[in-house]
Each structure stands twice: as C-alpha cells, then as structure tokens.
C-alpha cells in the first residue's frame, strides 16, 4: 500500500481502527473517547469519532477514575479481550499505579503463565505548553524499571502507526507513551506497516558522535545535528522508539564506529532512562559517554519558567561538541 500523509494522531487512530476491524476482541476505554479523544486520537481521517463506526460497546466512555479504568481493563485482558486504555496524560496514570505495576505487569509471572494481560495503556508524556507541573511530566523511566511492562515512545506519525499495531499484537501489557505536543505533526504513513518492538531507527549517519533520543526530543536532536554538521561534526542520530526492550545492538554498533555517545531526553536527567543507556555503553565499550536531560525542577506555567525545563537544540549541539573535543 502506498504512503499517505497524515498527522501523528490520525496515524494512531488508523492503527487502532485497523486492529479493531481485524480483531473483534480489541476494545478501547477511557475518558472522552465518545467525542474522539482530547487530542482527536480517536477520530478517523474524516474527523468522525471512532464510536460512530464501532459503537459504544467497543469505544467505551468511562467515569473519571483512572484506577477503575485500568483495573477493569486488566480483567478484560485476562478474560480474552485486548483493551486499549486511554489515560489522557501520563500524569493522570499515577492514580492507577497499583493496577499498572502490581496487576498488569506481574500477573503472567505470579500465576505461572496461566493468564496474560494483552493491553495497551496510552500515557502521553512530555511538556504540554502552558500546562504546568501536573500536566508536563516525562515518566518513561518509571515504567521501564518495572519487569513485565513493554515501554514504547514513538516520535513520528509512521512510528505511531506501526508501533501501535505491534503493541496491540504483542500479547503483553504495553505502556504506550505518545507525546502531548506531537498530535498535529504531519508525516508519511504506510497503512498496515508494522514497526517491530525493540528496533531502533537510524535517522542520520555520521562518524564523529552517536546521539540517541526518542519521542519529541528527536526534533531538537535533528536540529542540533544540522548545527553540528555546519561546524564539521558528523552525528549519527538514533531514534530508540522502544525503551523496553531497547535496541542495544544498534546503539553499540554505532558507538563502535564513533567512539562517543550522547544520550538526550526531555525527562529530568536525574535517574532518567538515559542513564541506563549510558551505563550499558560505558560497561561494554571504551567510548566517551555523556547524557543530557532536564533539570530536576517542576515544569513552570510561565513561559520563561517552562523554557528552563526544556532541552534545546543549542544545548544538545554544545554538549556533543564538547564530547568530540574532549
């Protein structure tokens, strides 16, 4: 099938509708789904809410109770359904942390594989402009730390389509982390094209430094790579796409070529997932390693304060340049 231009939100909606059409056990539940989702991620290409196509028994509007939503979805999954849970933003998912961490993630292990929890939990991450500290967190490292969870963070419409298809087919509980400010981003998408979980994408090839990131921070990294190229520094840019499992093979192969690694993420630098990548590369290679993330502060509401929590292309370029010169 040929590629079609669509937004990040439309790409996910297409993947969901294709999966629901192919498998009658795929359902979606959460707040505001009946009107197409807060960000339009439950609307078709013509803008119609998916409930008009699949009905309220499969696109289910729920009360504002995240623990109830996830708890019900775990039961549905154990009973043979494949639920897609909409938690609006990752910040609200903290109200359902027991159901995610102690129920969904551990069930298969604790009961000797007698039951599986094939569910996708959509938890949009990242800074949401002028939305302040309780709506702007990047908590992917929390969930990557939990055995039993798959963690996905797509950066493009094509990946949001292909990774959601893969997540729905995986048979495991997947924490699916779209970015709050990527919904309107356009791109080419090939309908039905599955992106394997755990496989990184080499966005740009270069021999001087390896730059690894994911989600919306990839945009700043691409800008930084252009700035570095103008200074004579050739960057190999890798979009991790899946944080667990993450593509160690691709990262290590790139670092073997460049001898330098800079990991960048929008999340707070302290105990961020970049530390796992940096530590792995440091343990297995003799490469120079650095990481860059946000300061350990809440995201402010005022634009000037919010800007302090963002990792800019200029900061990335400066960190990479310093790594090359060391």
Which residue among 135, 161, 179, 321 is the active-site one? 135
How many residues does this entry show for the chain? 326
Alpha carbons 177 and 120: distance in angstroms, whole number = 10
Residue 53 host element (H or E): helix 51-54
Strand partners for 60: 29
Is 135 one of the annotated active-site residues of the chain? Answer: yes
Alpha carbons 325 and 291: distance in angstroms, whole number = 16
Q: How far is CA 198 from CA 30, 105, 201, 257, 262, in A?
A: 27, 18, 10, 21, 20
Backbone angles phi, psi at 206, to 5 degrees: -165, 165
List Cβ<8 Å contacts ≥24 apart for 42-50: 42/13, 42/16, 42/86, 43/9, 43/10, 43/13, 44/13, 44/14, 44/17, 45/6, 45/10, 45/13, 45/14, 50/13, 50/16, 50/17, 50/20
Residue 42 host element (H or E): none
Alpha carbons 242 and 33: distance in angstroms, whole number = 26
Indicate which residues carry an active-site annotation: 135
């Amino acid at each position: 099938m040929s590629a079609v231009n669509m937004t990040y939100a439309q790409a996910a909606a297409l993947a969901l509708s294709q999966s629901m059409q192919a498998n009658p056990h795929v359902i979606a539940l959460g707040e505001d789904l009946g009107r197409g989702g807060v960000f339009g991620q439950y609307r078709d290409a013509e803008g119609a809410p998916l409930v008009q196509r699949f009905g309220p028994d499969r696109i289910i509007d729920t009360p504002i109770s995240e623990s109830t939503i996830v708890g019900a979805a775990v039961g549905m999954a154990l009973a043979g359904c494949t639920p897609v849970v909409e938690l609006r933003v990752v910040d609200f998912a903290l109200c359902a942390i027991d159901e995610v961490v102690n129920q969904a993630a551990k069930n298969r292990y604790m009961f000797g594989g007698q039951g599986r929890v094939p569910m996708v939990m959509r938890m949009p991450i990242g800074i949401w402009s002028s939305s302040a500290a309780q709506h702007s967190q990047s908590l992917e490292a929390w969930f990557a730390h939990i055995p039993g969870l798959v963690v996905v963070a797509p950066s493009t419409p094509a990946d949001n389509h292909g990774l959601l298809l893969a997540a729905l087919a995986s048979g495991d509980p997947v924490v699916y982390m779209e970015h709050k400010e990527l919904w309107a981003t356009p791109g080419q998408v090939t309908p039905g094209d599955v992106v394997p979980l755990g496989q990184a994408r080499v966005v740009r090839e270069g021999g001087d430094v390896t730059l690894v990131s994911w989600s919306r921070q990839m945009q700043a990294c691409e800008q930084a790579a252009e700035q570095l190229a103008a200074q004579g520094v050739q960057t190999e840019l890798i979009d991790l796409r899946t944080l667990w499992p993450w593509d160690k093979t691709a990262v290590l192969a790139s670092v073997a070529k460049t001898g330098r690694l800079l990991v960048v993420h929008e999340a707070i630098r302290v105990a961020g997932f970049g530390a796992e990548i940096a530590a792995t590369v440091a343990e297995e290679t003799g490469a120079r390693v650095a990481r860059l993330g946000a300061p350990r502060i809440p995201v402010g509401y005022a634009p000037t304060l919010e800007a302090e929590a963002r990792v800019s292309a200029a900061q990335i370029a400066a960190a990479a340049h310093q790594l090359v010169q060391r």
